[in-house]
């Protein structure tokens, strides 16, 4: 490919074209993605992370949501609410 400056006039010439016969990869089932993410977060739990680690924060949020049905009234923690869901 030649090196030439990109301008408004030649931008369209550099864009890739998509052929109708190209392969399409279907997305993974949502359940598989959720379990993969959960496995990643659980594996991450054993690491020593700096304060405010985003993966540790996500793990705590997921753990709180998953354990919510098993909490008793005296031991509830505040769970985030979305919209009008109860």
The tens digit of pLDDT for each residue in 3-34 reads 556 565 655 555 656 666 677 888 999 999 99
Q: What is the dihedral of CA 56, 60, 63, 67, to 10 degrees?
A: 160
- pTM equals 0.50
* Tokens linked to 45: 């739990």
> Does residue 86 surpass a pLDDT of 50?
no
Strand extents, DSSP E, the chain: none
- Show Cβ contacts of residue 8 under 8 Å, excluding neighbours closer than 6 positions: none
pLDDT digits (tens, 9 = 90+) for 40-70: 998 887 778 888 899 999 999 999 999 999 8
pLDDT digits (tens, 9 = 90+) for 75-84: 555 555 544 4
Report the largest interatomic distance among the alpha carbons of the chain, rounded to a whole angstrom: 70
Contact by Cβ (8 Å): 56, 44: yes
């Amino acid at each position: 490919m030649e090196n030439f400056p990109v301008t408004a006039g030649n931008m369209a010439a550099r864009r890739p074209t998509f052929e109708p016969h190209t392969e399409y990869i279907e997305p993974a089932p949502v359940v598989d993605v959720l379990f993969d993410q959960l496995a990643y977060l659980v594996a991450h739990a054993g690491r020593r992370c700096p304060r405010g680690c985003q993966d540790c924060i996500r793990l705590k949020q997921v753990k709180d949501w998953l354990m919510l049905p098993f909490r008793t009234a005296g031991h509830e923690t505040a769970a985030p609410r979305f919209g009008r869901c109860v």
